[in-house]
Amino acid sequence: MGRKTYSLSAVAVAATASLSFSSADGAVAFAQDTIADATAQTDAAPTTNAVEVMPAAPVFVSEEVVQPLAETDEAENTPNSTQASSLRELVGIVDSDVQLSEQMRCLAGTVYFESRGEPLAGQLAVAQVVINRAEDRRWPASYCGVVYQRSQFSFVRGGRMPNINTSSAAWTRAKAVARIAHDGLWESEAADAVYFHANYVQPRWSRAKTRLAQIDTHVFYR
């Protein structure tokens, strides 16, 4: 019994020694087999079971995006000084049949009542005075406010404008001149004027003002 036990023990010791000496190689081989099995399983797995969602890469626009606008002939229909060689020609080009706003009617009415018998340059200068006053803090900030200001224009009676003969050529010209002045289509000889009077009177205030021009029977000041 003792001898047999010895033999078995010897075998066990030999096996243990053999395992100890080959443990490193076995571990490497085991690891290689494990990796190979995992790779085989991954390759064999159906691709439809694993869908990877990646966020879309941002796209940056380096240039301004401008939406094209439809072309119109509005600019062609708008008169300007380059389309006329004289103020008279420009008055003939301007469309005076359009409906006037209240403010434009006040401006055209002043041209009509104050200067309809004057040359076109004189009518334009009168319109310019109204416009200049409306842009000056010393006067009301609208054409009608300027025209109806107390004791400023002799044609205004009781805060009202007299009736206009709207079928007359004088009214047609007055409307055209008012638009030309309002849109700045022609430079007036009295561009900076805020006062004017007839040349047959000599008001006191004129002595303290700077005379700019005389157009027919009107003298203009600033």
- What pLDDT, on a 0 to 100 scale, did the predictor assign at position 24? 43
Class of domain 87-186: mainly alpha
pLDDT at position 202 is 92
Residue with tokens 């805020």: 194
Res. 81 pLDDT band, cuts 50 70 90: low
Euclidean distance between CA atoms 59 and 128, whole angstroms: 56
Residue 61 has pLDDT above 50, yes or no: no
How much is the pLDDT for 50? 45
User: What integer pLDDT is reported at residue 38 of this predicted model?
Assistant: 46
| pLDDT value for 98 | 84
Taking CB atoms within 8 Å and a gap of at least 24, the contacts of 86-91 are 87/120, 87/121, 87/124, 87/180, 87/186, 88/120, 90/180, 90/185, 90/186, 91/120, 91/173, 91/176, 91/177, 91/180
One-character DSSP codes across the chain: -HHHHHHHHHHHHHHHHHHHHHHHHHHHHHHHHHHHHHHHHHHHS-GGG-----PPPP----S---PPPPP-SHHHHS--GGG-SSHHHHHHHS---SPPPHHHHHHHHHHHHHHTTS-HHHHHHHHHHHHHHHTSTTS-SSHHHHHTSTTS-TT-BTTBPPP--TTSHHHHHHHHHHHHHHHT-S--TTTT--EEEETT---GGGGGS-EEEEETTEEEE-
Euclidean distance between CA atoms 23 and 36, whole angstroms? 20
Calculate mean pLDDT across residues 177-203.
95
Decide which of 114 and 22 is more confident. 114
pLDDT for position 84 = 87
pLDDT band for 8, please (50, 70, 90 cuts). very low
Q: What is the pLDDT of residue 12?
A: 43
Mean pLDDT of the chain: 77
Residue 116 confidence (pLDDT): 96
Q: Greater confidence, 182 or 12?
A: 182
Distance (Å, whole) CA 125 – CA 218: 9
